[in-house]
Amino acid sequence: MPTRTPFAMPSDADPLSPLDVAADLLTMLRTTTTEPRPDIQLEALTLAVAADLPVLLWGEPGIGKTAALTQLAASLDLPLTTVIASVHEPSDFSGLPIVGDDPAEQGVPMAPPDWAVRLVRAGRGLLFLDELSTAPPAVQAALLRLVLERRIGALQLPPDVRIVAAANPRSSAADGWELSPPLANRFVHLQWTHDHEVVVRGLGGTWPRATLPRLAPERLAEAVDFARRAVCTLLAARPKLVHQLPNSESRRGGPWPSPRSWEMTLRLIAFATASGVSRDVLSLLVRGTVGDGPGLELLAGLDRLDLPDPEVLLADPTAEELPQRGDLRQAVLDGVVAAVRSRPDRARWDAAWALLVRALETGAPDLVVVPATTLASLRRDDWDVPTAIENLAGVVTLSRRADEAAARAKTATKVRR
């Protein structure tokens, strides 16, 4: 009786073939679950996807960019279409010319590739442009219209299609290119790194769950107003930040400020405000859109937009809570003193002293030294000294003595030298 080879087709009575058993094992290895878990990278990615902004994930090979996109598509129930940008021709993104019935009358239409047609038929999906940093300049130029206008040849992608790309740094990319400035400026750039605990738990079968941010309907108008005030306040004070193309080629391939990227930033702030995400998540997104320098300036300005109005505090020094953070509390006190200087009268001056006493009782005493000294210099001859000054006199005197001691020590050091 002949023996059955491992690759022979088994009959109903035969046991499972080795390949069937191997397939079962592979299925078990691929079966994983998800769990809610704080992950600022994933939160930043899902917020940018919800805001319908193209995202570019930067990370070393094997860091998990592709796996994260696959898991994201599965969590959001979106069909995933992966396109390796570096192995395509420019015509694959701009469209292939085909001759119609009457080219002289109708022109030559540009036929889209099959993957774009499938996305349109599905009506929704996640388009993943992988290996973007290995795409040559001609292909990058062809991608401009796809990323910004969502058009491929004569085909318009549906509104429910989101675009996410991935790239390796040029130093670790296979025959890599720097990203062109026009293409780089169309993306929200996120640095993708691995988290040891996430990787260990994921290899054990449980990965973080990707969920879109929940937007509070009642906060939408407030969020739009806040985002517009934040961006416009900064750019009004720092007009050079409106458009600032970096000098080096490598930095031009990353995030930098332009009217386009500021508009993207405004959208991200509005979505972050309406969903209540953490400041760490917003920081990743803002710095990944306009760069570290302008992004950090904007984030500092956001803190100050939430500060109490100096006029409200002067009307009632107990009306609002003072910030706990020292720099923000200092900004509030300086703002109150500046308001008194711009429109001085006895009632406002007394209210400012009451506020300084409150700040002294609830926070670090050194924060009131400069505002108290400045406020004292605004006194008019016919204004009586309020009793509140007595509570601050010791702090100001102690501060002056400390400054004098520091000055004497500095002078003595110079003499010894």
Residue found under tokens 């040849």: 153
Please give the Cα distance from 277 to 48 (Å, whole number): 12
Range of 224's domain? 217-305
How many Cα atoms sit within 13 Å of 13 on the Cβ side? 1
How many domains would you assign to the chain? 3
Rg of the chain (C-alpha set) = 30
**What is the spatial distance between Cα 78 and Cα 399, in angstroms, rounded to a whole number?**
62
246, 370: one domain: no
Q: Are residues 283 and 296 in the same domain?
A: yes
Task: Choose the final residue of a domain: 305, 328, 352.
Answer: 305
List phi, psi (to 5°) of 304. Answer: -75, -25
Task: Please state the pTM of the whole predicted model.
Answer: 0.75
3-state secondary structure of 154: coil
The distance from CA 15 to its chain's CA centroid, rounded to whole angstroms, is 55
Residue 112 domain flag: yes
Task: Check whether residue 199 and residue 115 sit in a common domain.
Answer: yes
**CB neighbour list of residue 121: distance below 8 Å, 6 or more residues apart:** none
Contact 185, 56 (CB under 8 A): no
Q: Token match 């990278």: residue?
A: 41
Gap between the Cα atoms of 10 and 16, Å rounded: 7
Contact of 376 with 343, CB cutoff 8 Å: no
User: Do 410 and 320 fall within a single domain?
Assistant: yes
β-partners of residue 82 are: 128
| Same domain for 194 and 80 | yes
pLDDT tens digits for the chain (417 residues)? 455 455 455 555 567 888 999 999 999 998 888 888 888 999 999 999 999 999 999 988 888 888 888 888 888 889 999 999 888 888 888 877 776 666 666 666 777 888 899 999 999 999 999 988 888 889 999 899 899 889 888 889 999 999 999 998 876 655 668 889 999 999 999 999 888 888 888 889 888 888 889 999 999 999 999 999 999 988 988 889 999 999 888 889 999 999 999 999 999 999 999 999 999 999 999 999 999 999 999 998 887 777 788 888 999 988 888 888 887 888 888 888 988 998 999 899 889 888 988 888 888 878 888 888 888 888 888 887 777 666 666 555 544 444 444 455 556 555 555
Say yes or no: 57 and 193 in one domain: yes
Same domain, 273 and 237: yes
Residues 78 and 137 in one domain: yes
Start-end of H helices in 97-157: 103-106, 114-122, 137-149
